[in-house]
Amino acid sequence: MTTRHVVVIGGGYAGLTAALRVSRSHRVTLIDATGTFTERIRLHERVAGLTGRPGTPATSVPLAELVAGRPITTVTARVTALAPGRRTVGTHDGREFTYDSLVYALGSRTDTSRVPGANEHAYTLEHAAELNGRLLDGRGVAVVGGGLTGVEVAAELAEAGGGASPVTLVTGGEPAPGLSAKGRAHVTATLERLGARVRAGTRVTAVHAGGLSTDAGEIAAGAVLWTASFAVPTLAADAGLAVDGRGRALVDAALRSVSHPDVYVVGDAARVEVPGVGELRMACATAMPAGAHAAGAMEEAARGAEPTPFRFRFLGQCVGLGRTDGVIQLVRADDSPYGPVVTGRAAARFNEWVNRYPLFSLRGERRRPGSYRWAKSRASGRTAPGTAAPADARPGS
């Protein structure tokens, strides 16, 4: 196999997995704006001020530490240009990197552009480090968005505030719509038990300094935390890669850009469709398998072999509801819920184990590239129970 130069842009779950795995056979440059791996799945804990203390899991780890000993050069810079015709990536500081293959893994960010005032007046999870418990100042916080992210952060804030700082969860539908009826009922009951007020079926029309305007009237709040929608960077579209209506790159079965096959797009930035499973949600649980698969596909391409199609199936959804409660929901391959749910302390413990799995796997991948495993759909498009990894799903919006 010819050794190639693989440039990976974005050192999150998808990009870091791809970089570590492909480094067993190729030279890698990993470019990330922050130079650290951010445990996005723990940002709600950080918002509530629960991390960064002795004995608590890290929410960010230097990329250099996670790739130590691998043939990977880390570069801390913001990617500002992509020229797929010339196979170059440009960074904010004027540097240019030439690649044989590119892994585009720039993830997503909270989208505050959809409702007037959200951009100016709402915090997002990207502010987690600076918030770090500060929302619990007694003035009250409104969390907007009833997806799992909004639910988890509302529960964490309500529990950490202990009633002294009112928390309201505002959602256009009902909280955790992807769960079964039993799962949804437990989420709402637990939020209320923790002291959070749930305003379901309430559409936010504007955000202002004093809280929210909604179709059901005003909601006063000292601070607003927006978790309702996520958007991807425009770099792929700007560079001429084929994208969908949300700007996510369209990829083929091997996760190559349909317009530029030497660009592999993985994680939240890609629109991935798996036969028999459907379109994958934005999730760490889908990003890591995609990153690992892209690495294998690049190796196959370097050998002159036809890359194998990406296979993935969902197994379950795990929701943390504070430190001592949660919901574990079995799901079918296509992420639809079925069967009973596990709740309470057992669910909280299992959820914590699932949350430790990504960083544990990345450290394992550094020591032994190829070691990370995930649940796979059948090659035919029918699905089979998977191999090893917990597959928690997380809606992107």
Interface contacts to ligand FAD, rule CB under 6 A = 9-15, 31-34, 38, 40-41, 43-44, 78-79, 105-107, 125, 149, 233, 267-269, 282-285, 287, 392, 394
Strand partners, 8: 30, 103
Least gap, CB of 89 to ligand FAD (angstroms): 9
User: Of 62 and 213, which has the nearer Cβ to ligand FAD?
Assistant: 62
Name the residue nearer to ligand FAD (CB basis): 10 or 386: 10
How far apart are the C-alpha atoms of 178 and 165, rounded to whole Å? 28
Closest CB to ligand FAD among residues 168, 229: 229
Nearer to ligand FAD, 204 or 265 (CB): 265
Query: Least distance to ligand FAD from the beta carbon of 315, Å?
Result: 11
Q: How far is the CB of 101 from ligand FAD (least distance, A)?
A: 17
Of residues 41 and 144, the one with the C-beta less far from ligand FAD: 41
Write out the two tokens for 21.
Answer: 């795995």
Nearest 5°: CA angle at 108, between 174 and 333? 60
Q: Which of 277, 245, 247, 251 is nearest to 266 (CA)?
A: 251
The CA dihedral of 182, 183, 189, 194, to the nearest 10 degrees, is 160
**Burial track 67-85 (b if 16+ CB lie within 10 A, e otherwise):** beebebebbbbebeebebe
Ordered DSSP codes for 41-54: GGHHHHHTT-SSST
Identity of the residue, 22 or 125, whose beta carbon is nearer to ligand FAD in the bound complex: 125
Retrieve residue 180's tokens: 């079964």
CB of 299 to ligand FAD, least distance (A): 20
Q: How far is the CB of 196 from ligand FAD (least distance, A)?
A: 16
Which residues lie below 8 Å from residue 312, measured CB to CB, with a gap of 6+? 274, 277, 280, 286, 289, 290, 374, 375, 376, 377, 391
Contact partners, residue 119, CB within 8 Å, separation at least 6: 112, 113
Nearer to ligand FAD, 18 or 198 (CB): 18
DSSP state of 79: E
One-character DSSP codes across 133-194: TTT-SSS-EEEE--SHHHHHHHHHHHHHHTTSS-EEEE-SS-SSTTS-HHHHHHHHHHHHHT
C-alpha dihedral over 326, 331, 337, 342, to 10 degrees?
Answer: -30
Whether residue 41 contacts residue 320, with contact meaning beta carbons closer than 8 Å, is answered with no
Residue 258 CB, nearest distance to ligand FAD (Å)? 18
Instruction: Quote the tokens at residue 324.
Output: 């001592």
Q: In terms of CB distance, is 33 or 206 closer to ligand FAD? A: 33
How would you class 373 by CB atoms within 10 Å of its CB: exposed for 0-12, middle for 13-18, buried for 19 or more?
middle
Q: How far is the CB of 318 from ligand FAD (least distance, A)?
A: 6
211: enclosing H helix or E strand: strand 211-214
Of residues 11 and 183, the one with the C-beta less far from ligand FAD: 11
State the minimum distance, in angstroms, from the CB of residue 282 to ligand FAD. 4
CB of 79 to ligand FAD, least distance (A): 4
Nearest distance from C-beta of residue 218 to ligand FAD, angstroms: 27
At residue 3, φ and ψ (nearest 5 deg) are -80, 130
User: Measured at CB, which residue is nearest to ligand FAD?
Assistant: 12
Give the residue with the Cβ less far from ligand FAD, 199 or 394: 394
